Amino acid sequence: MSVEASGPVIIITGTPGTGKSTHAQRLVEESPVPLQHINVGDWVKEKGWYEEFDNEWQSYTADEDKLIDELEPIVAGGGVILDWHTCDAFPERWADLVVVLRCDHSQLWKRLEKRNYPLKKIQENNEAEIMQVVLEEARESYPPEIVVELKSESAEDLEANIARIVDWIVVWKKERASGA
């Protein structure tokens, strides 16, 4: 990101049900710099940035080219949290920090059941969590020093994670101010 950015670009990713939106909202509230939370999945639906709706999986297939084109000017200004279940669609140059939230698969199963996900979707997401699919995507798509894996299983984890990310933002801000 450019030195002129008003705030960092933070990607919060993880298997559905790991707490991405909850983390993003809390971060908006507690960040020392203004941040805009973009729930990418919601934007894809609301703005029609999708190719189709998959009835079997009960989800939209994002038009990634359209998505990136539309997000580019927003992200260029900085101060954005991108909240999505995948991260490899976002250009490497966008991210200052990539947070991958992780959750024990049995707890994740219960969370997805509460959302009334179809059984097949629950099974697929649980397998993805067990196999660390999102974490591996992040590690393959971004420099290792900006990818952070955080446990997201309890209120205590949420508090610790937010405190850690806020501390990171403080350092990011100081580095920008000193020209580092």
Q: Does any domain span residue 73?
A: yes
The domain spanning residue 76 has which CATH number?
Answer: 3.40.50.300
Q: Does any domain span residue 156?
A: yes
41 labelled binding-site residue:
no
DSSP 19: S
19 labelled binding-site residue:
yes
> How many separate domains does the chain show?
1
Task: Determine the angle formed by the axes of helices 105-114 and 119-130, rounding to 10 degrees.
Answer: 150
Question: Domain span at residue 138?
Answer: 9-174
174 labelled binding-site residue:
no
Alpha-carbon torsion (103, 17, 31, 89), positive or negative: positive
Per-residue pLDDT of the chain (180 residues), as tens digits, is 434 568 999 999 999 999 999 999 999 999 999 999 999 999 999 998 888 887 876 788 889 999 999 999 999 999 999 999 999 999 999 999 999 999 999 999 999 999 999 999 999 999 999 999 999 999 999 999 999 999 999 999 999 999 999 999 999 999 988 876
Q: Supply 163's token pair.
A: 């405190």
Q: Does any domain span residue 2?
A: no
On whether the CB atoms of residues 95 and 11 are closer than 8 A, the answer is yes
115 labelled binding-site residue:
yes
